Structure 1
Amino acid sequence: MRRHFRLFSALLLAAALFAPACAPKQAQQPETVAWRMDPQTAASYYYLVYMRELSKGNAQDAALALDQAIGLDPDPQLMVEAADLAWRMGRTEQARSYILQALREAPGNRLLIFRLADSFAAEGRHAEAAQVLATYLKERPEDATARLRLAQVLIDAGQPAESMDILQGIPEGERGSEAFYLMGRASARLNRTRVAEKMFKRSIEENPENIAPRAELALLYERQRELVLAEKVYAEMLQMEPENDEVRLRLIRLNLQLNNVDRALALALEGPERQDFILESARLFLAQGFGGEAAHLAEPLTTRKDPAPEVLLFQALLDFQWRDDPAAALRSLERIPDDVDFAGRVLHYKAHALFLLGDLDKALELTALGQEQYPDITEFWLVESWVHEDRGDIGKALVVMKEAVSRWPENTQLLYRLGALQHMAGKLEDSRANMERVIELDPDNVEALNFVGYLLAEQNRELERAEVLVRRALDRSPGAPHILDSMAWVLYRQGRLQEAWDYIRRAADSAESPVDPTIWEHYGDIASALGKTDEARRGYSKALEAGSRNAQEVRGKLQDLDRS
């Protein structure tokens, strides 16, 4: 708005030049003068009002003043400022209207074209954003920046192949860091992981200070389960941006997955002392089963005289998941005020605690209240199904979970629960179908992978696929006794008895394994097939001691051993 500033300055200078040098000796009655401003002068006035209101933080009044200025003087630069202000106020449609006005005054303006494309992209209208840029590129094919922006929009629109075509049109010698970065993103979405890795590394070589390709490279390694490589990249990112909490938290989580607990703890303790960071770090430790470290991290918050409601909620989670003390969890929950933003979660945890404490009537009362007041919280349906199952009413539990799945058809937790209940009810094909759906929605869901693999082994069908599924589960949860047992059972069904024996021994000998009668019965079956009579007898005896549901059948197997 330099023109308006120049005009306003000229007005001030003219007023100064024509002002009298000294006051008249005798006062005269002033005459009434009608001042009239031409449109440009008036536009300058409203622009100054806009600047004043903007400096005071009055965005609404600033927008009104600027609109008045544009009405008097449709200067494209004024419209760009109005578009930027509307954008900051979250008025995307209005911002686009100003941009289109400006383009009518200055057709083909590069900055306006980019902003128009951005306005569509911000609303997820990627096809329209791409069309704007493609049309511009037909007239300006040499504009490398426009080409890069179009490639990015196409990736966001889910068209990575088209994006790659655009990027490959840039001569290799002219491809900079941004081009390689976008080629990496497009390749990753085309599942060309090695090409994507190469492109991200080239982008980093071209501009080592750019953190974006490192972030994408780390995510690529995570998706490929190359956790050591992902951890290394995140560590580099944290060195570049030590205050980046998101990177620090991701690094903590990866180190926990790699069982580098001391490293993860050091990273957490070196982080900011803000409550939100401490709690999020502690939650990561708790989620990975490191409750002691989680409690240690949260101790400065939990030992305060009046802990914040968020801290009391975390204290309850510690009592649930680490200390196995639902009574203590309920006491923490009762201290949280009713008007907190997360009151629905508090009510759900109260219902859960009451269920664990055996107060089923009260638990049902709270789940009914929760379903009415917080109909978007799925856990109320889960707790209700647990109560019915605990009372031996699998049919009613199934009704509850079918209703929940009809509300949230892609919720993997609900689908898994429904599949498990169907398995209990003997509806094996329905159970398998829901578990397959869980895997379709979440290919890394350990429990669903294990469930389907074990079910196939039980039915002695599709044993090759069963092995693939269980191995995938074991890769993601190595050492889990129930998954080792599934692997042993798949191999047993395939007749690979020595391999099965190695896995079932690991399952039975695991220090983490509770006394599981199924594991011990399988131990006996595999030992018996190998002719290890004493070991088979040991397995069956332990299965009976652990309260096997197949007690009569297991006793029969023991008797067969004695007769042989």
Structure 2
Amino acid sequence: MTPPAVVADGVDQLDPVYMRTQADYYFSVGEALSLEGNHQKAVESFKMVLIYDPESPQVYLRLSAEYVKIGLLTQALENAESAVEKDPKFVDAHLLLGGLYSTLKVYDKAFKEYETVLKLDPKNSEAPLYMGALYAEQKQYDKAVGYFQRLGQSENFSTPYLAWYYVGRIRTEQGGKAHQTAAEAAFKKALQAKPDHVESVLALGSLYAKMSQTKKAVDLYQKFQREYGPNPRLAEILAQNYLEDEQYELAAEQLQIVESYSDDALNAKLKLSLIYIEQKKYSQAIAKLKDVLQQVPDSDKIRFYLAAIYEEINQRSDAIDHFQQIPAASQYYGEAVVHAAYLLKQDKQVDEALALVSKALEKRDDVPQFYAVQASLLDEKGQYHQAAELLTKGSKKFPDNVQLRFFLGTMQDRLGDKQQVVESMKQVLEMDPNHVQGLNYLAFTYAESDKNLEEAEGLVRRALSIEPKDGYVLDTLGWILYKKGKFQDSVKVLESAHRYQPNESIIAEHLGDAYRQNRLVDKARVMYQKAADAETDQNKVREIRAKITSLSDQEMHLSGRKPASDSAGAKANSPRE
């Protein structure tokens, strides 16, 4: 469409109504784009306005403001200067120009702009504050404070609370006890002038926190909310304080305030869910995390938390589902796969667990946990050779991973390769001389083969110096003493081991053996029975029951009686080798 034209003094000109309409259109578009946060396109629209209305100071001011938002300060300055040039009495343009000069540290020009504002508008409340701030920016703190104090005491200044607020801010920035005391007094004056000024409350509370007067800060925030109603900014700070003090109910109340003021208060919702978890309010935690997940469906962190709750309440299917949705690139992927595999194993789906971990290893062979978990599952299926091969591969890939090396040693033990067990455990101890499990395993391996018993005792005593209440380590020491023929000493140690691990079959059996060697037949029988009851391997159960039977023969031998079935007498079984 061709713009309508008019003739003036013999010269064709565009219709001014059309020009005004176009200018208004592009100005409206620029405002809308700015509200959407699309400042680059807003700049283009405001430039279009100037084509149709090149003398508008308001448009130059809007352009300047948009340039500030995208960080182009030189262009912002040029347009602010143009706005002032077009209208020397344009107060807002002088204010923005003063702010730009201040940002660029051209302080003398900034002062002149603010002085111009006050000449044009003597009651303007912004320019005096900016002038005082200029002193502070130049580190002229006492001059700035004096200026603001006079401003706060002036009957002609409409917002004295802001003057006292800035006095407090400056003294806080200076630091030190004397300045902190002065800052506290200034903030209190600000609140006397305007009790509902939340910025002063926040600043005073922050000052109390710096002065290690947390209770004063909390009391201040609580008082403000009682008198002026909930405030999300104060509520967030209060919630954090309550969380640190483990006052979860109070923290939850404050987080609910934060959440109520914003539909996308993700941080508050997440903290609320964690509080519910701490309080074991799992249904509420799940609901809150699901709410968060709707807003950020790709959040692997939230999904991991949700899966962990389902695991905690034994909803395994839901837990597995969410764990498996966590992507391979996530920092939570390793833990998610491990948890999912464990849950599948609990559901006796070992093959599915193996498939899951095998697939995970294909995606991420840089996660050492995967080698250990898959080896554990292979161990569960009795596939010891495959488990050992996998652990050998993992140990080569992660030569400094002590747990993989230790696990490899235990798998070599499964295969009966005692020499390799010893080598692996020695490597474990080279990597970590205080590895309790490695010390204990090597010591027990020596004891079981009746070799290096002195070295074995030294190893296990070192382990006990680190973990003196470990029942398994105590069992190893007791068994070494037994092997050395110190039966009375072995009883003392093995009884202690049994107290720490009363349901462990091998410890009960060892204690039974020690009792038998000390001719405590009744005690041995009771302990063997406990060992048999706790044992899951039926072949081992038969071995233990054979020991119980042999006790009857030993008892009759000790009393001089002979069983009717054996006129030659019965011989007691030898100690377990």
Band the TM-score falls in, shorter-chain normalisation:
0.3 to 0.5
TM norm structure 1? 0.47
Max radius of gyration: which structure?
A: 2
TM norm structure 2? 0.47
